[in-house]
Structures are given as C-alpha cells and as structure tokens.
Amino acid sequence: MRDEMICVGAVSGSYGVQGEVRIKSFCATPEDIETYSPLTCEHGVDVFHLSLIRPIKNGFVARLVEVKTKEQGDALKGTQLFARRAQLPSLPDDEYYHSDLVGLTVSDTGGTLIGTVKSVQNHGATDLLEIQSPGSSATILLPFTLAAVPTVDLDAGRIVADPPDGVL
C-alpha cells in the first residue's frame, strides 16, 4: 500500500508559448502539489519535476522541467499527476484519502449489504460516496458525513452507513 500511486492533480493544458502548463491541484492545500514533486503519469512511465509559478483561476501556472514548448504542454492536456503514497502526509483518524475508500463494501447499520464504493465525488458541498449496488450497474450517492457514515474500517475493508431517508 505504501507504493500505491495517488492522483494529486492534472495538467489542464499549456499556458503561453514558453512551455508552461496549467495545473489543477487535487490536494487539500492546493499549493502542496509542488512538495510532492517529482510526479508521474498514471503508469509511472513519465516523470515530471514540477514547480509552481503563480496561481490562476482554477489552478496554477507551473513549469515542468521536461516540457520545453507549447506543443509539448498541449500534448499533456488531461494527464493526471500521481505521487507515491509514501510522499503524502499521514491523516488524522477521521480523514481519508479518496483512493482508500474506493472498493470498500458498504453495509447498513443492520448488516445488510448496500454495495461497494465505486468513487468519491465532490460537487462543492460535501464528499459523496458513489456506491454500486450488488449485482447491478445502478449506483446511489451517499453523503460522506459522520451522520450518514458513522464507521469506516479500512483494515476490514468496510463501511457502516446509516443512509438518510430516501437515499435507498
């Protein structure tokens, strides 16, 4: 698990003609993405040494040592940037990396299986667990709050949920 790769940002495209790129950070403190450099692509093949130049709307202008031209920056548009799990800070007991939650089984407080966490989404208000129902492609969105998700047991690979009325 310590060698696991965690997505910490993405390249949004080039910025200007000098090879700078626009970076969108997925870190809790957006500027921290620079401290996890060097970053890699999803498969770990391409390595990027990142330094932030300045903040812009929805991200940063950054320099990737490996990118020299606007065309190279354009070619990286959409590339996700990953850091090794060991590079990231430890979290308090009540906080989790999204990648830790994906794949966990979710049961209600009575022990009935609800499904498996497919993804963690955030549309501005709070994190939502997208849970795929067993034996189906149907999903439900469960608010990731202490009231709706009282127990997360990473070691056992399970979540105990108390969904609000109407969610199921």
Decide if 158 contacts 149 (C-beta within 8 A). no
101-151, pLDDT tens digit by residue? 999 999 999 999 999 999 998 877 788 999 999 988 899 999 999 999 999
For residue 2, pLDDT beyond 60: no
Average pLDDT for 74-85: 93
Residue 93 located in a structural domain: no
Domain closes at, from 44, 60, 87: 87
Give CA–CA dist 47/99, Å, rounded: 21
Residues 118 and 148 reside in one and the same domain? yes
Residue 116 located in a structural domain: yes
Domain closes at, from 32, 53, 87: 87
Return the amino acid letter for 63.
R
Per-residue model confidence (pLDDT) at position 88: 87
Per-residue model confidence (pLDDT) at position 43: 84
For residue 91, pLDDT beyond 90: no
Residues 55 and 117 reside in one and the same domain? no
**Which residues lie closer than 8 Å to 7 by C-beta, 6 or more apart?**
26, 42, 80, 81, 82, 99
Residues 147 and 83 reside in one and the same domain? no
Q: How many domains are there within the chain?
A: 2
Q: What is the pTM of this model?
A: 0.72
Kindly state the DSSP code that residue 66 receives in the 8-state scheme: T
Residues 146 and 74 reside in one and the same domain? no
Domain CATH for 154: 2.30.30.240
7-57, pLDDT tens digit by residue? 999 999 999 888 899 999 988 889 999 999 899 998 888 999 999 999 999
The structure tokens 């501005």 sit at 124
Residue 111 located in a structural domain: yes
Residue 67 domain boundaries: 5-87
> What are the respective helix, strand and coil percentages of the chain, to the nearest 5?
10, 40, 45
Higher pLDDT, 111 or 167: 111
Residues 82 and 106 reside in one and the same domain? no
For residue 1, pLDDT beyond 70: no
Residues 77 and 110 reside in one and the same domain? no
Residues 157 and 107 reside in one and the same domain? yes
Per-residue model confidence (pLDDT) at position 73: 93
| Helix (H), strand (E) at residue 83 | strand 80-84
